Amino acid sequence: ISQEMVRMSSDLMKNASGVCFLLFTALFTCLLLTRGSRASAIAAIASGYLAFLTHSLDYAYALLYMASQGLAAYCLARDRHRTRVWLISLTTLISASLLTTLALPQYFSDLWKGVAFLEDLLRIGRPTQPPPTPPPAAHPSPPPLPPLQLALPLSFLVAGCLLLAESLQRGAEALVISSSLAAGALSLTPALLGLREWGWRFALMDLVPVALIAGVLVSRAGGRLAQLAISTVIVGLVVGQAITQAYQVRPSIPYEAYLDLLEIRHLIPLNAPYALHCRGVSKYWPEYVLGWPPGGQPRYVISDRPLLGGPALRLVYRGRLLWLYEVRLRG
């Protein structure tokens, strides 16, 4: 097993464990808003903080579930006491996460991915001046999500919309469905907007809203046999989709380039903006190994070939397959 495949697998396992804390956050937030339990508020904060410590994307979805459930509960019941406890809990979680990030920035640089996503979403954060060299071929763009990948969550979102109208009088069920609709919409947004790099990442989180809406569908079935039949169909669809995706998951980076990135990360200052000019290296790997994505006015350039930039570029590192250049500031 290659070293880069082990690293990718560990990232997926970390994401999977973060999903557990995400679901606990959604559960305890729902209990807080429906029963008014302070113990549930403490448990929701703890679960959300564990999601923050585990994986940045799981933490983002935990915040989304916590926020959307609170807003839905206020719109449905307008219970000021529970809303106040929910707001204090959400503020406490965000404050604890920010303080931890400020205290230990080297361990939580993944949060900059959220900033990079917003920049891509709003089409901002691009260099105002062209790079000092003619741009070589950019890093490979991942393929678009297949129609089946989008059809499954879309079908469950439609089912969730139909269920929501009937569940407005059922407090907990309405909170679960409304927050799952918000999470499902977020998961599909990058793919529908053509952001392929982000589309594949957010597609991993489809399972959370799909699983919760599927649970509501199963609970609505009249008998045990009907519940078993619906569960079998849903599990079959999810497993079939997972098998097709498994054939597309591979470390899109040569092993020598991966070793070069491990050495380059010690040569670039933390969060320094850089540009990636490689044909055989996906954007995922520099972002994952270094800890932050490319973008902004580049101070460094990672390339898979020598660059002729004259005095504007200074060679910092020459590896097995990759070159690292420092961009000299003018003036």
Over the stretch 81-123, which tens digit does the pLDDT of each residue have?
A: 889 999 999 999 999 999 998 888 777 766 667 776 777 777 6
Which of 2-16, 130-144, 163-177, 270-284 is least confident? Answer: 130-144
Q: Which of the two residues, 41 and 155, has the higher pLDDT score?
A: 41
Segments making up each domain of the chain, as ranges: 1-103, 144-247, 255-327
- Contact between 265 and 123 under an 8 Å Cβ cutoff? The reply is no
- pLDDT value at residue 192: 77
- Contact between 182 and 68 under an 8 Å Cβ cutoff? The reply is yes
Q: Is 133 left (phi over 0), alpha (psi -120 to 50) or beta?
A: beta
Secondary structure element (H or E) that encloses residue 81, with its range: helix 80-103
Closest CA to 20 of 195, 211, 300: 211
Closest CA to 293 of 146, 192, 195, 187: 195
Q: Which of the two residues, 87 and 194, has the higher pLDDT score?
A: 87
**Token match 């606990």: residue?**
24
Q: Which of the two residues, 320 and 206, has the higher pLDDT score?
A: 320
Q: pTM for the complete prediction?
A: 0.70
Over the stretch 297-316, which tens digit does the pLDDT of each residue have?
A: 889 999 988 887 667 888 99
**Which tokens is 154 given?**
């879309």
Predicted confidence band of residue 134 (pLDDT cuts 50, 70, 90): very low
